[in-house]
Amino acid sequence: MEKEHILVVDDEEGLLHLVKMRLTAMGFAVTGCTTGRDALAVAKNTRFDLAITDLRLGNEDGLDVTEELLRMYPGLPIIILTAHGSIPNAVEAMQRGAFGYLTKPFDDKELKAKIEEGLSPQRMRGEIQRLKSLVNELYGMDNIVARSPAMQRLLQQVVQVADSDATILLFGETGTGKEVFARVIHSNSRRSKGPFVALNCAAIPETLFESELFGHVRGAFTNAHASKRGLFQSANGGTLFLDEIGEMPLSMQVKLLRAVQEREVREVGSDLSTKIDVRIITATNKDLGEAVKSGAFRNDLYYRISVVPLFIPPLRERPDDIPLLAQHFLTASAKRANKELRGFTPAALNRLVAHLWPGNVRELENVIEKATVMTRQDMITPDLLPAMATSPDSPMKPLTEAKEEFEKTYLKNVLQLTGGNISRAAQFAGRYRADFYKMLKKYGLHPSTLKAKAEAEFEELEEEDDLTEAKR
């Protein structure tokens, strides 16, 4: 982390040296000047985080230096050093934009406290910006692993609806990443600067639902010793994400419907309604259409929350995404575990692709996390992964067909792992390059679909094969 840079201006060289030593010991980068003229010249080329200046700088006025620094860098926190008799001048400096003052003599504790106070606002702004960057890094559109056609279609839909205020219903199996998509939608909407508030409806007792969503006033019920804001109020200006909406009790559904329709809420125990500006995103792993038929979910609420329904496909239906997701999770896990891991062996990758993943993306992430912790090598091997889970209802295929299917999947995975490099792929597979090429040709696989630069190598092998055939 880069050190915060402080400018110190004092015509007493002894005091200047002392302050510089103190600040350096505190971990700051320090530039010292004995004149206001030198300080302003330095400030033209150097951006400081804070400035400390004496009010009396020989023939120069510290107030003039302060004003000029603030003209150059509006909002720069400036601490004034002053003697007891000059406190009124220090107060005047503060009225003209200085942050605060210290009376000579001062100790290290006073100095540090005043500096920390001065730097606090911009540190807060920096932290907010860092968090915003982190959110964008995690939930930006470009960070979603989506190679499969199904996920590509879903992303296109997300792009279309993100910047609207349409109510969205995300549905899919447990572990498919519904909350991640909700956060992606929020982060890429005009509400991104507002709060994102999430509630798992399955985790809230029925008796607390109303208070949790809408808040309550003091004395509304037993133990309501103080007023409490509800999640709708907390999410005002942003997004409220209601996960597992299918678990919401019927008694609450009508109240939620009113809040969504009227865009207002009423705290428990209050006669007054409060207007809200909240975008609603809901999610479920249930078939809400069937729940409506059975009477477990209100028909009017269902149509209100499913203005834009988005289906997140299970992982087993998008095997093309598995290698990329696995590598993504491996990179993150290896970083946390402080390990250097190259990736997966072809056999391990094939096992991952063949697995049914009943727990979907969440299960894959957990499996990779465990493998990262347990491995003593720089590659993840099959023994670190779960046994392949297949559907008990799937019919057995003839041996030849099953073998060919396995070979084709294996070849695709090896090519993907090596970025379409035939030589490396052949080495991984334990085959001569020419033999490996013939296997690719047999299954109609072309590495250029994975990496354009591999096309030249493929064409070279084609020419070699043609020459061999001609000789025969």
Question: For tokens 């004496």, what's the residue?
Answer: 54
Rounded-to-integer distance, Cα 155 and Cα 157, Å: 5
Residue 136 falls inside a structural domain: no
Please tell me whether residues 112 and 84 are part of one structural domain.
yes
Domain with 337, as residue range(s), is 316-394
User: Are residues 304 and 176 both part of a single domain?
Assistant: yes
d(CA 178, CA 186): 12
Q: Do 217 and 263 reside in the same domain of the chain?
A: yes
Same domain, 211 and 291: yes
Closest to 389 (Cα-Cα) out of 314, 312, 313 = 314
Domain tally for the chain? 4
Given CA atoms 161, 165, 171, 176 in this order, what sign does their dihedral have? Answer: positive
Q: Are residues 274 and 207 in the same domain?
A: yes
User: Would you give the DSSP letter of residue 220?
Assistant: S
Decide: helix, strand or coil at residue 46: coil
Domain assignment present for residue 235? The answer is yes
Report the distance separating Cα 24 and Cα 455, nearest Å: 58
Q: Which of 345, 376, 394 is the last residue of a domain?
A: 394
Interatomic CA distance for residues 346 and 380, integer angstroms: 10
pLDDT 10s per residue in the chain (472 long)? Answer: 578 999 999 988 888 999 999 999 999 999 999 999 999 999 999 999 999 998 888 888 888 888 899 889 988 999 988 876 667 777 777 877 888 888 888 888 889 999 999 998 888 777 655 544 544 555 555 556 667 888 888 888 888 888 889 999 999 999 888 998 998 899 888 898 899 999 999 888 888 888 889 988 887 676 766 888 889 999 999 999 999 999 999 989 999 999 999 899 888 888 888 899 999 999 999 889 889 999 999 999 999 998 999 999 999 888 888 988 898 899 889 999 999 998 999 888 888 988 889 899 899 999 999 999 999 999 999 888 877 655 444 444 555 666 677 777 778 777 776 777 888 778 767 777 788 888 888 887 876 554 444 455 555 555 555 555 555 5
Q: Which residues contact 125 (CB under 8 A, 6 or more apart)?
A: none
The verdict on 308 and 211 lying in the same domain is yes
Q: From residue 254, give the alpha-carbon distance in Å to each of 14, 38, 166, 240, 261.
A: 75, 70, 20, 17, 11
Q: Which residues contact 389 (CB under 8 A, 6 or more apart)?
A: 355, 356, 357, 358
In contact, 297 and 130? CB cutoff 8 Å: no
Q: CB of 140 within 8 A of CB of 187? A: yes
Residues 249 and 168 in one domain: yes
Rounded Cα–Cα distance for residues 154 and 309 (Å): 11
Residue in 199, 209, 306, 309 with CA at minimum distance from that of residue 250: 209
Q: 325 and 345 share a domain? A: yes
Same domain for 301 and 190: yes
Nearest CA among 192, 208, 189 for reference residue 200: 208
| Same-domain status, 117 and 91 | yes
Residue 49 is assigned to a structural domain of this protein: yes
d(CA 10, CA 55): 9
Peptide bond just before 105 cis, omega within 30 deg: yes
User: Which of 313, 331, 366 is at the close of a domain?
Assistant: 313
Q: Which of 286, 313, 340 is the last residue of a domain?
A: 313
Query: Do 87 and 168 share a domain, yes or no?
Result: no
**Quick check: helix, strand or coil at residue 56?**
strand
Read off the tokens for 407.
Answer: 């070979």
